[in-house]
Structure formats: structure tokens, C-alpha cells
Amino acid sequence: MSFTYERTINYYETDRMGVVHHSNYIRFLEEARCHYLKEVGMPFNEFEKKGITIPVLEVKCKYKQHVTFADTILIKVFVKEFNGVRLTIGYEVKDKNTGVDIIIAETKHCFTTKDLKPINLKKHCAEFSDKFNNI
């Protein structure tokens, strides 16, 4: 299952050239990922209540086009891979008005306890593991 998150660019997210600074796209991906998990019934705060964190291990991002203040982007979020220990989320970011690809990205994650000890989600929280396996 994929989810599309819509976001309008704020002025403060642009740089001196008037375009979104490249580092802000990582924030946009996180916003979209949080909304996606909520949409599929696994909000971040529920992970935290269960003592689970989902740290980012890697970010890959291919910048294809830029956007500027007041542009609206659509961020399609989807699970690329899940094995109980690791999770890869894919992102396709497009300009809402033109449909042009802005970035193609992925983030890789693992699951840990609050003290950052790696866990297998299937063993630690079968309910959420099953949800990942069914999306």
C-alpha cells in the first residue's frame, strides 16, 4: 500500500537562490513517513509506547528538479522491503501542478529498544510486524 502526503513549501525552507535547500527534503521525507505510519495504523507514538524506536540507518536521495516557495509537492510513500529487523521506505516526490519528479529517495531503518539494542519486530511486537507484512 502506498500513501501520498501533500505539502506546501514554506518561505523559510528556501535558500538564498529561492529554492528549497537540499537538506529540507530529508525533513519532508520524515513528515511523510510519520503520516504514512499513522495512516496504516502504526503511529510513531504507539511504537514509542511499546518501547520501540526506528532509527534511520541510511538515506539515498536523487535530486531531479527543484521547487520554490509556495509550490506544493506530493510525496508518495511505500514499503520497499521489510524483514522484521530492517525496513526500507521508498519515496517519489512530484510537483503537484506539473507532475515533474522532484526527488526519488529511500530511507533504511532498523528497530531497537529505547536503549538502541536491535530487535526483531516480529518477536517484540507481532501486531506491527503483521501490519508491515500486509501492506
Query: In which band, very low, low, confident or very high, does the pLDDT at 1 lie, cut at 50, 70 and 90?
Result: confident
pTM of the model: 0.94
* pLDDT the model gives residue 26: 97
* pLDDT the model gives residue 48: 95
pLDDT at position 135 over 90:
no
Secondary structure element (H or E) that encloses residue 34, with its range: helix 24-39
Q: Topology of 2-133 in CATH? A: Thiol Ester Dehydrase; Chain A (3.10.129)
| CA 67/CA 98 separation, integer angstroms | 11
Question: Which tens digit of pLDDT belongs to each residue from 38-90?
Answer: 999 999 999 999 999 999 999 999 999 999 999 999 999 999 999 999 999 99
* pLDDT the model gives residue 7: 98
CB 91 within 8 A of CB 32: yes
Question: Which tens digit of pLDDT belongs to each residue from 17-46?
Answer: 999 999 999 999 999 999 999 999 999 999
Tell me which residue has cell 513549501: 9
**β-strand pairing of 101-110 with 86-95:** antiparallel
* pLDDT the model gives residue 44: 93
Residue 76: φ, ψ to 5°: -85, 125
pLDDT at position 98 over 90:
yes
